Structure 1
Amino acid sequence: MLLASFFGVVMGLVLGLTGAGGGILAVPALVLGLGWSMTTAAPVALFAVGSAAAVGAIDGLRHGLVRYRAALLIALLGAMFSPLGIYFAHRLPEKVLMILFSLLMVMVAARMLRRERKDQGPSDHGHANWGQKNCMLDQQTGRFSWTAKCTATLAALGAVTGVVSGLLGVGGGFLIVPAFKQLTDVQMRGIIATSLMVISLISAIGVIGALHAGVRIDGSGMAFIAASIVGMIIGRKLCARVPARALQVGFASICLAVSAYMLLRAGL
């Protein structure tokens, strides 16, 4: 119970600091730290990630940072495709799931280690010229211009996020955050807040699907979930004080180490 609480706090802390990556650590913590199977760990990880993300999303809504229409569209498509991921998760061998998760962690670590151009400007608006991004903010209203291209882009992101969420028990922030940076001109504060709202919605749908499939959450799982919420609150308070680059390098290093260990456990 104590170990589960510790892992939960760490996962929530990472989620609060980065807006992504919490689920990437949650599943290995439960599988490697507590000895759970992938199919048992996935819904608990989703529940914890979703609960912690909801706390951050509410804070983002209070400050007007969440692009809630975009978040709802992504979550809607995620809800439609999440059962597909859950279907395959219960039919693939445990070893295959561990290998897929390990490769996913390597991908996330590589993205974190890659240096990116810093966005400038104190506002939540980006500074890309019109047409450079798939989804652009109207500089007068501060809202997305909902073109067919923008709608299709966000819908596709939601579908992919839903499948991966159901399959591996991750919230999808590692997909949403870089996709928003690449495809929209929203600044990082708005990206993180929007990501947290999407994660909370998709995670809730995934948990409901898993519970419907017969998965149950025990006392250790509930302790992990409660501790993750505490970690999220701490992370949201510390995010302005932690150097972004140091956080990225540290998180990427942890991902690489855990992925290597999971590959070893899988027999590679």
Structure 2
Amino acid sequence: MEIFGYVASVFIGISLGLIGGGGSILTVPVLVYLFGIDAFLATEYSLFIVGISSLVGSFSYFKKGLVDLKTVFVFGIPSIISIFLTRNYLLPLIPDEVFHVNNWVITKDMFLLLIFAGLMLVSSYKMIQKSLELKTETVHSVKSKMILAAGEGSIVGVLTGLVGAGGGFMIIPALVNLLKTPMKVAIGTSLVIISLNSLVGFFSSMNHLKIEWGFLGTVSAIAITGILIGAQLSKKIDGKKLKPAFGWFILAMGIYIIINELFP
């Protein structure tokens, strides 16, 4: 199964490079089901893999001037604070047995994977939608838009902290619809925010776990290769056209995780 895991790692990077998000939603399932890593450690590894891959992928957008640093600050700071608090204070509060009725037990790993599966269902819905653009204009002041963006950043931080996903499926729609950021700039800005969130989350909680750096470095290097491939493909392929198909795949994966965890 490890061979399939390494192959899947390439596609994690490709999706990040091509559509600026969504790839991170695959990282935890790949680590859990193909590499056999427990869910809690998988969320930690996912933060590093997604963070490093997104950081490398953001370089080309920086060079082209397709990163809005003001938006990174407004969206990213609340997100970083949320992920730090979640990884260090909220996650440790979750007991090893979350729910226990007769012989039916939901463990901490199952609980995290079920949250992750729910996140995948929401993510797939966002991707399957034909367009991110709003059909009607909603009037917001600049100040209220910034407050809403900061609020969404906080939500993304909590989700990233819980399940190790970058949250690009929430970040890009917020930038495009709420802040009216052009799509190319939204992708570049999203990659920077994802990299900051993920790496802060990883390094703030890594001391609690034994990290296998050799394995983590290998998977990250493969994902980085994928993101470089995705960045090149983005010059020839419109990532928006691929999102619905990728969304259906994420939907199927989410349903599989729910069935696999609840009815093993």
TM range (shorter): 0.7 to 0.9
Paired residues of 1:39 and 1:89 also in contact (CA < 8 A): no
Where does 1:18-167 land on structure 2 (aligned, <5 Å)?
18-86=19-87, 87-90=89-92, 91=94, 93-116=108-131, 132=138, 134=140, 147-167=142-162
Determine the structure 2 residue equivalent to 1:228: 223
1:125-151, CA deviations, whole angstroms, 9 ceiling, x for partnerless residues?
Answer: xxx98xx4647xxxxxxxxxxx43233
Structure 2: segments with no counterpart, 5+ residues: 96-107
For residues 66 and 133 of structure 1, the distance between their equivalents in structure 2, rounded to whole angstroms, comes to: 25
Residues 46-102 of structure 1, C-alpha deviation per residue, up to 9 Å, x if partnerless? Answer: 111111111122211111111112112322212211133223334251111111111
Letter in 2 for 1:97: L
CA–CA distance in 2 between the matches of 1:45 and 1:247? 23
Cα distance in 1 for residues equivalent to 2:210 and 2:31 = 15
Contact 1:89–1:168 (CA<8 Å) still a contact in 2? no
Q: CA deviation at 1:108?
A: 0.9
TM-score (norm 1): 0.85
Asked if structure 1 preserves the Cα contact closer than 8 Å seen for 2:149 and 2:178, the reply is no
* Alignment length (residue pairs): 247
Larger helix proportion, structure 1 or 2?
2
Q: CA deviation at 1:181?
A: 1.9
Aligned residues: CA RMSD: 2.2
Distance 1:19 1:117 in 2: 13
- What's the CA shift string for 1:202-221, capped at 9, x where partnerless? 11101112213234134222
SS in 2 for 1:266: helix
Cα 1:185/1:257, change in 2 over 3 Å: same
Residues 1:201 and 2:201 are matched in the alignment: no
- Alignment-derived partner of residue 141 in structure 1: none
Counterparts of 2:177 and 2:28, CA distance in 1: 27
Q: 2:235 aligns with which of 226, 232, 240?
A: 240
The equivalent position to 2:252 in structure 1, one of 239, 251, 257, is 257
TM-score by length of 2: 0.86
> For the Cα contact (< 8 Å) 1:133–1:182, is it kept in 2?
no
1:3 Cα deviation after fit: 4.2
Displacement after TM superposition at 1:18 (Å): 0.8
Give the fraction of aligned pairs with identical amino acids, expressed as a percent.
28
Aligned to 2:13: 12
CA distance in 2, matches of 1:263, 1:166: 20
**Tell me, which stretches of 5 or more residues in structure 1 are unaligned?**
120-127, 136-146
SS of residue matched to 1:54: helix
AA aligned opposite 2:81: M
CA–CA separation in structure 1 for the residues paired with 2:143 and 2:57? 30
1:27 to 1:134, Cα distance in 2 relative to 1, 3 A = farther
Relative to structure 1, is the Cα distance of residues 96 and 117 closer, same or farther in structure 2, using a 3 angstrom cutoff?
closer
- 1:175 matched to which residue of 2? 170
The one-letter amino acid of 2:158's match is V
Distance 1:253 1:163, change over 3 A: same
After superposition, give the CA deviation of every residue in 1:164-193 in whole Å (9 maximum; x if it has no partner): 111000112111011112202111101101
Is residue 134–residue 153 contact of structure 1 (8 Å, CA) maintained in 2?
no
